[in-house]
């Protein structure tokens, strides 16, 4: 999306936080919200597909409900992009390649790999966006945080995978390797999205009424992401 696409407001400038009156920052926010929205839309599609692999009707219904919860998160993001003068669908269309590449490289081969991916991979990407949210204006931060809250999928995945490993211990080794692969691909996706968009890169540096993220802080951020990944793997009964 060209920068001019976010150049007109659907709300009066005096109703916006100071940071959002900066065109460059507003462009970055539009792009960030767009990639999160597309990610949630992709999660809906993928959970709907994964439901076809479910071993029971109970599991199928649980995943279908989770897919619906992901879809419900998209509209508030779309609405906010529109309020900021952006075209949400054009913005998503320009940012979808990294998300699609992640899913293409991590297509699960069975039900359990799908659960690990949804729990570990999606959570890691959401952690990344929540980390970025700390450097945003308060209104945008609140929207990003509310859009990346983990739902009931977490407890569901942990329960199902732990049961499966007890029943078939060898499964744990395969899923541990799969979890490590997901970690690498998710970090690559997150870094790719930030690096390929100048506005998103500038967002992390700081700007009007906002602190920036220096190299030391960036290192600490990725350390926290890695630590959370290890904690989630442990919750699944897997080695990180």
**CA 181 to mean position of chain CA atoms:** 17
Q: What is residue 121's three-state secondary structure?
A: helix
Residue 92, C-beta contacts closer than 8 angstroms, at least 6 positions apart: 34, 35, 37, 38, 41
Contact (CB, 8 A) for 6 and 86: yes
Mean pLDDT, 10 residues at a time, over the chain (240 residues)?
Answer: 48 63 86 92 89 90 88 95 94 86 88 90 86 86 89 81 94 95 84 69 60 68 89 90
Q: Residue 212: name the closest of 132, 139, 143 by CA.
A: 132
Q: Where are the alpha helices (DSSP H) in the chain?
A: 23-50, 57-72, 74-83, 88-105, 111-116, 122-133, 138-147, 153-167, 170-196, 198-205, 215-235
Alpha carbon distance 193, 1 (integer Å): 14
Alpha carbon distance 116, 34 (integer Å): 25
Which domains does the chain show, CATH number per domain?
11-235 (1.20.1260.10)
pLDDT for 6 equals 47
pTM score: 0.83
pLDDT for 1 equals 40
Alpha carbon distance 239, 231 (integer Å): 10
Half-sphere exposure of 61 (CA within 13 A, CB side): 3
Burial annotation 64-102 (CB, 10 A radius, 16+ → b, else e): eebbebbbebbeebbebbeebbbbbeebbebbbebbeeb
pLDDT for 19 equals 74
């Amino acid at each position: 999306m060209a920068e001019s696409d976010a150049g007109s407001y659907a709300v009066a400038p005096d109703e916006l936080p100071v940071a959002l009156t900066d065109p460059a920052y507003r462009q970055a926010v539009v792009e960030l919200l767009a990639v999160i929205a597309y990610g949630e839309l992709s999660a809906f599609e993928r959970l709907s597909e994964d439901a076809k692999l479910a071993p029971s009707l109970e599991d199928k219904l649980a995943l279908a409900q989770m897919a619906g919860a992901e879809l419900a998160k998209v509209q508030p993001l779309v609405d906010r992009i529109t309020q900021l003068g952006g075209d949400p669908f054009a913005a998503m269309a320009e940012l979808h390649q990294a998300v699609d590449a992640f899913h293409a490289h991590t297509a699960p081969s069975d039900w359990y790999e799908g659960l690990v991916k949804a729990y570990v991979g999606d959570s890691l990407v959401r952690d990344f966006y929540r980390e970025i949210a700390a450097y945003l204006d308060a209104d945008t931060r609140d929207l990003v945080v509310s859009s990346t809250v983990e739902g009931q999928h977490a407890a569901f995945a942990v329960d199902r995978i732990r049961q499966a490993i007890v029943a078939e211990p060898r499964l744990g080794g395969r899923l541990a390797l799969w979890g490590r692969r997901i970690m690498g691909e998710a970090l690559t996706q997150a870094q790719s999205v930030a690096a390929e968009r100048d506005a998103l890169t500038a967002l992390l540096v700081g700007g009007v009424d906002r602190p920036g993220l220096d190299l030391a802080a960036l290192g600490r951020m990725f350390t926290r992401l890695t630590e959370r990944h290890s904690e989630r793997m442990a919750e699944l009964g897997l080695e990180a």
